[in-house]
Amino acid sequence: MRRLKWVPIILLALMLFVPVLDAQNSGRVSRGLPQATPDTNPTSLRSGRYGETIIIPMHSSKYALSDEGTYFLAYNTTIGTGIAQTTNIVAYADTAGAVGNYFYFRNNDLANGKRMYLDYIKLLVTAVPITATSWQWALVLDYGTARSTGGSAITPVSSNGDSGTPSIVQMYAGALTTAVGINKRTVGRGTFRGVIPTVFDEYLILCGSHEGGTGGISAAASGRAVDIAGPIILGPGQNLTLIMWGAANTAAPAFEFEVAWWER
């Protein structure tokens, strides 16, 4: 009986203590910069008006992704040797058996699994489409099995040397042929050059960021072209292709490449 008399007191203490814990774990909405708090003094978390916590990262977010083993890179098989695309790609095609797809990505994770977040695509021209009057591109997301034949299998690697986590992404590059797509949607579109590409050109597509989205080139000399695309997310069972073409093209261009993404 003596123990039971303490129950109301314990319950009251818990009722008083829980709001304190809740206040410590919740934040104060402050869209504008709040008043500074001197070092060593306690303070509450700062939050946005939708409940998100506002934080200051101690280092680049990509290093945090690499540190946890979720950031991946993909390269052509041999440095110094490009992988060729199909010849005579003169216009965008969105039909069965379409050629001109240079990259194919498929998220092979199970339903409700990880997503692929495309970061950037870098292309280094090693063979030119000698008669093309421009060089254009599109990124297309697809919900079916888009790849039919062709291309070289590419094995992604983690950018963290201590991580052995394999990628969920199946990737091919080169002369690809695609099957009929399911619920296709264009998620990126641009022009690398308004003239014939040249050897040593470098083309960069930045996804989800407008930073560095300048530097287009159109002169005859080789150079660097930077283009931008919105954020591109590939869910389980979905495909993504990079299609490139040039008006009046009669030759097969070839590229070395670097592609980066994270998986969460």
Ordered by start, the domain boundaries in the chain are 4-47, 61-263
Name which of 26-35, 57-66, 138-147 the model is least confident about: 26-35
pLDDT digits (tens, 9 = 90+) for 39-49: 888 888 888 87
The dihedral built from the CA positions of residue 121, 124, 129 and 134, taken in this order, carries a sign that is positive
Between CA 47 and CA 67 the distance in angstroms is 26
Which tokens in the block code for residue 215?
């530097």
Higher pLDDT, 19 or 243: 243
89-100 average pLDDT score: 70
Residue 174 CA to residue 150 CA, distance in Å, equals 7
Q: Are 214 and 224 in contact (CB under 8 A)?
A: no
Token pair belonging to 130: 């000698």
Which is more confidently placed, 6 or 59? 59
Which pLDDT does position 100 carry in this prediction? 74
Q: What pLDDT score does 206 carry?
A: 95
Q: Say yes or no to pLDDT of 150 above 80.
A: yes
Q: Which of 57-61, 128-132, 186-190 has the lowest mean pLDDT?
A: 57-61
Q: How far apart are alpha carbons 50 and 151 in whole angstroms? A: 45
Query: Which contiguous run of DSSP H or E holds residue 227?
Result: strand 224-229
Prediction pTM value: 0.81
How far apart, in whole angstroms, are the C-alpha atoms of residue 261 and residue 246? 27
Residue 24's alpha-carbon distances to 31, 42, 46, in angstroms, are 19, 10, 11
**Can you give the pLDDT at residue 215?**
57
Predicted local confidence at residue 23, as pLDDT = 46
